[in-house]
Amino acid sequence: MNYGYQYPAGLIITNTATHTGRFGKVHCLADAEATFVAENLTENGSATINGITMKASTEVEGVITSITLASGQVIAYSL
């Protein structure tokens, strides 16, 4: 899925703190387990997507407002 956005900035996340903002794409740098809160993505009807396993080089696109990692590294691109 490509929304055609140009992302003005990126945030490299390597810790387990919750990071908030408006992110359009999350790119996995090293295998990661992540929890997202999103405006336009759901998991079983919930805006909180829990414990998604991402392999290195995979991406998730959407309007993501919160990212928490249990492990791994990602770069989150701001909208």
* Residue-level pLDDT, tens digit, the chain, 79 residues: 555 667 789 999 999 999 999 999 999 999 999 999 999 999 999 999 999 999 999 999 999 999 999 999 999 999 9
Q: Does residue 2 sit within a domain?
A: no
φ, ψ dihedrals at 57, nearest 5°: 80, 0
* Inside any domain, residue 3: no
User: How many domains are there within the chain?
Assistant: 1
Count of positions (residues) in the chain: 79
- Is 48 part of any domain? yes
Domain encompassing residue 45:
10-78
Question: Would 73 be classed as within a structural domain?
Answer: yes
- In a domain, residue 5? The reply is no
